[in-house]
């Protein structure tokens, strides 16, 4: 029997894995559940992803595109006249105000790196990519602090079910960013 050419199969498996994690959590993902969700033979999942961690890495890499893509596409962040704190607070509010399921999924995959070392480099890539963009407006250390602050605020919102507070986020970002400017002025 000839093998059927299916160039989109790998991507369908990744998409299916993301849907499975979204509905059943990380614990519900297996090669079998991804294959069933993608409507492909079980052997296809193990052909494209030898281990479950390989599949999770691909899913995390794709899921991580949400906020990072929004930051990359927001040209107003990079303009020297832009209020970086206000722009980031507004952007974070848009991200959290959108499809909350997608945001929760991104964080579930991101936090899975705590128990799955294979995911850690991908989680770090996400932080590094956002830091890289922010470092165009500030130094790297401050960019890292901003990413950590936004991560913490987003996790608090997701874990508590609270509404995102744009004014609070803007104020906290200003404090971090102003500390950077004060340090630059004093040489320390």
152 domain residue, yes or no: yes
According to the model, what pLDDT value does residue 181 have?
A: 57
Mean pLDDT by 10 residues, the chain (188 residues): 72 94 91 96 94 92 78 79 92 87 83 89 87 90 95 94 95 89 50
Residues 119, 35: one domain? no
According to the model, what pLDDT value does residue 186 have?
A: 46
Alpha helices in the chain (DSSP H): 9-24, 31-38, 42-48, 52-63, 65-73, 84-97, 100-111, 120-134, 140-160, 166-186
44 domain residue, yes or no: yes
Domain that residue 44 falls in: 9-61
According to the model, what pLDDT value does residue 65 have?
A: 75
Cα 85 to its chain centre, rounded Å, is 20
pTM of the entire structure? 0.80
According to the model, what pLDDT value does residue 3 have?
A: 55
Contact 134, 177 (CB under 8 A): no
Residue 92 burial by Cβ neighbours in a 10 Å radius (0-12, 13-18, 19+): buried
Residues 88, 171: one domain? yes
Residues 110, 182: one domain? yes
């Amino acid at each position: 029997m000839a093998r059927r050419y299916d160039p989109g199969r790998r991507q369908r498996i990744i998409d299916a894995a993301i849907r499975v994690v979204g509905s059943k959590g990380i614990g519900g993902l297996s090669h079998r559940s991804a294959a069933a969700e993608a409507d492909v033979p079980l052997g296809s999942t193990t052909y494209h992803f030898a281990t479950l961690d390989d599949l999770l890495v691909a899913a995390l890499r794709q899921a991580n595109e949400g906020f990072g893509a929004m930051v990359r596409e927001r040209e107003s962040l990079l303009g020297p006249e832009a209020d970086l704190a206000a722009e980031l607070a507004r952007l974070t509010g848009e991200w959290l105000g959108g499809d909350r399921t997608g945001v929760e999924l991104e964080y579930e995959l991101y936090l899975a790196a705590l128990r799955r070392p294979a995911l850690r480099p991908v989680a770090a890539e996400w932080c590094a990519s956002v830091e890289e963009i922010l470092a165009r407006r500030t130094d790297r250390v401050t960019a890292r602090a901003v990413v950590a602050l936004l991560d913490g605020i987003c996790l608090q919102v997701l874990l508590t079910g609270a509404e995102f507070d744009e004014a609070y986020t803007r104020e906290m970002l200003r404090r971090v960013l102003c500390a950077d400017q004060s340090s630059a002025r004093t040489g320390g």
